[in-house]
Chain A
Amino acid sequence: MKPAGFTYHRPATVDDAVAVLAEVNPAGKVLAGGQSLVPLLSMRLAAPEHLVDINRLSSLAYVRVGDDGGSVTVGALARHADVERDAAAYAVLPLLRDTLRHVAHPTIRNRGTTVGSIAHADPSGEMTAVLALLEGTVTLRSTGGERTVAARDFFTGPMSTCADAGELVTSVTFPVPEGRTGAVWTEVARRHGDYAVCGTGVVVTLDDDLRVAGARAAYISVAPEPVVIDLTEAVAGEMVDDADWPAAGRLAAGRLDPGDDIHATAAYRSHLAEVLTTRALREAAGRASVAA
């Protein structure tokens, strides 16, 4: 239960970090909070030759609300706890804090980074689904320059992304949903803070007459990567108070194809997806109806 040896790099700047990643490519792995990577190393499920520790890159330890309040950008060294406690981010996008409260335990959130969990792309990682739900973006740096990738292109499978081993994910941006919207995260885990058996984040948009204009949901633990489903067709044009949310829940469950594992059967996961979707949509609609 001890990590194998590796060559350790502790760059002081982002330029140095990407230079090291380029030099050792493809044998380098980025170490941020380490809350997923260190157990993998200790269990020897991973043994990278080079570890590039970015914990000294203080320029990436930020949470920034866009000038117009239309987005929240999180740097690669912002801990989950920093994002969770950021008052300005909460004011424009409460979904971040609401969801982060489900990410592991406070002790893990003190060290784990939001960007790291997204780069790790665990199919049970809440923040991957939130980024996909909000149609966010991921910014990557390498010695060749910078590129920004849409969440739907970033996640390519369980624990895999389009990031090259020579690239450093420097930030992610969560857009604030436009219009009269409400957003909710909900999940079922055996113990609060454990990996969810099924989790969903939803956004409901209402028009000026309080009719449903849009509904979509993203899921964790039921697909190899964060999957986003547009559920508008099940509830479009219905008044917020008597929209057929269970129909939207059924539509979602019908589109998902979860697998069996030791934690839950596929049938149970489908059931959870239906129930949680229904519940989350109803709550999000309630929030949207009192939104400014």
Chain B
Amino acid sequence: MSEAMFEVTLLVNGVPRSATVPARRLLSDFLRHDLELTGTHVGCEHGVCGACTVLVDGRPIRSCLQFAVTVDGAEVTTVEGCTRPDGELGHVQQAFRDCHGLQCGFCTPGFVTTITAYLEENPTPTQEQAREAIAGNLCRCTGYQNIVASVLRAAELRAEETQR
């Protein structure tokens, strides 16, 4: 018996994208394999590491803990969508560059999406809040000090941008 297939359409980084997949296709695999958006990384694949975090309807979620078919019709933002409209680095990406917030870079997409959404909710975090904001993401290079600094730097860049 062949597996039932479902057409799933998402608005990914502002662009409508569709693919026909089995119900068990994880959102992370849908993005990477079916849509070839490989910016989203898959680490532990059971919701612990946070590398696969994407925004669904503006909220960060673990894309490895969700079936693509469940979120059919949703708006999804991946790390590829965290740039500025002109394609230059977005404020969170720029902050990671400024503060050496990435080493091997594997965990970075999950941090960038998580922090992007967090700053929408709390644009002026304290150091302690910045630490709490990233507590659900793991960096196996253990570069957390610079990632906390990147959160604070991203908040500064974001404030400068919105003042302009």
Contacts and interface: CB of A to CB of B under 8 A. Distances in A.
Given A107-B50, A111-B62, 16 more contacts: A2-B29, A3-B26, A8-B4, A8-B6, A10-B69, A31-B67, A38-B26, A38-B67, A42-B26, A43-B46, A81-B59, A105-B136, A106-B136, A110-B59, A111-B61, A193-B136
Given A53-B70, A193-B135, A42 B61 contact: no
Interface string A75-110: 000000100000000000000000000001111101
B60 A110 contact: yes
Contact of B135 (A3, A34, A192): A192
21 contacts: A5-B3, A5-B22, A8-B69, A34-B67, A34-B70, A35-B47, A35-B62, A38-B26, A39-B46, A42-B45, A42-B46, A43-B46, A51-B23, A53-B67, A105-B135, A106-B118, A106-B133, A108-B62, A191-B135, A192-B135, A193-B135
B66 A38 contact: yes
Contacts of A292: none
The 10 closest A-B CB pairs, nearest first, are: A105-B136, A8-B23, A39-B46, A110-B59, A3-B24, A38-B65, A1-B45, A107-B60, A111-B61, A107-B136
A27 interface: no
A55 interface: yes
B137 to A, nearest CB: 8
Interface string B5-39: 01000000000000000111010010000000000
A5 B1 CA distance: 11
Interface in A100-154: 104-108, 110-111
Contacts of A4: 24
B9 to A, nearest CB: 14
Interface in A3-43: 3-8, 10, 31, 34-35, 38-39, 41-43
Interface residues of A, number: 31
Contact of B136 (A1, A38, A104): A104
Interface of A: 1-8, 10, 31, 34-35, 38-39, 41-43, 51, 53, 55, 81, 104-108, 110-111, 191-193
Interface string B53-74: 1000001111011110111000
Q: Is the interface of B mostly helix, strand, loop or mixed?
A: mixed
A191 B67 CA distance: 28
Given A1-B45, A191-B135, A107 B53 contact: yes
A105 B61 CA distance: 10
Q: Is the interface of A mostly helix, strand, loop or mixed?
A: loop
A34 B59 contact: no
B4 A7 contact: yes
A129 to B, nearest CB: 22
Contacts of B45: 1, 42
Name the residue in B50, B53, B65, B133 with the highest tally of chain A Cβ atoms < 10 Å from its Cβ: B65
Contact of A2 (B24, B61, B62): B24
Nearest to B53: A107
